[in-house]
Amino acid sequence: QSVLTQPPSVSGAPGQRVTISCTGSTSNIGAGYDVHWYQHLPGTAPKLLIYGNRNRPSGVPDRFSGSKSGTSASLAITGLQSEDEADYYCQSYDSSLSGVVFGGGTKLTVL
Amino acid sequence: QVQLQESGPGPVKPSETLSLTCTVSGGSISGYYWSWIRQSPGKGLEWIGYIYDSKTYDGKTTGYNPSLKRRVTISIDTSKSQFSLKVRSMTAADTAVYYCARGTGRGGPNWFDPWGQGSLVTVSS
Question: Cβ separation of B45 and A46 shorter than 8 Å?
Answer: yes
Nearest CA in chain B to A101: B47
Contact: B47, A101; criterion CB under 8 Å: yes
Distance from CA of A107 to the nearest CA of B (A): 11
Q: Which residues partner with A37 through β-bridges?
A: A50, A90
Answer yes or no: do B47 and A100 touch at CB < 8 A.
Answer: yes
Chains A, B: CB pairs < 8 Å: 61
Residue B106: Cβ-neighbour burial (10 angstroms; 0-12, 13-18, 19+): exposed
Torsion of CA B11, B15, B17, B20, to 10 degrees: 30
Is A102 in contact with B110 (Cβ distance < 8 A)? no
Return the pLDDT at B57.
66
* CA distances (Å), origin A37, targets A16, A47, A49, B82, B101: 20, 9, 5, 26, 14
Residue-level pLDDT at B42: 86
Mean of pLDDT values over A55-76: 97
Higher pLDDT, B31 or A70: A70
Q: Radius of gyration (Cα) for chain A, nearest Å?
A: 13
State how far residue A78 is from chain B, nearest Cα, in angstroms: 23
Give the mean pLDDT of A13-27: 97
Helices (H), A1-111: none
CA nearest B72: which of B97, B60, B59, B89?
B89
pLDDT in tens, A21-56: 999 999 999 999 999 999 999 889 999 999 999 999
Query: Which of A38, A92, A100, A102 should one mutate to test binding to chain B, selecting the residue with the greatest count of B CBs within 10 A?
Result: A100
Per-residue pLDDT, B56: 65
Kindly give the confidence (pLDDT) of every residue in chain B, 125 residues in length, as a single tens digit, with 9 standing for 90 and above: 999 999 987 789 999 999 999 999 999 888 899 999 999 998 889 999 999 987 666 678 899 999 999 999 999 998 899 999 999 999 999 999 999 999 998 878 899 999 999 999 999 98
Strand partners, B52: B33, B61
Q: Do A45 and B114 touch (CB under 8 A)?
A: yes
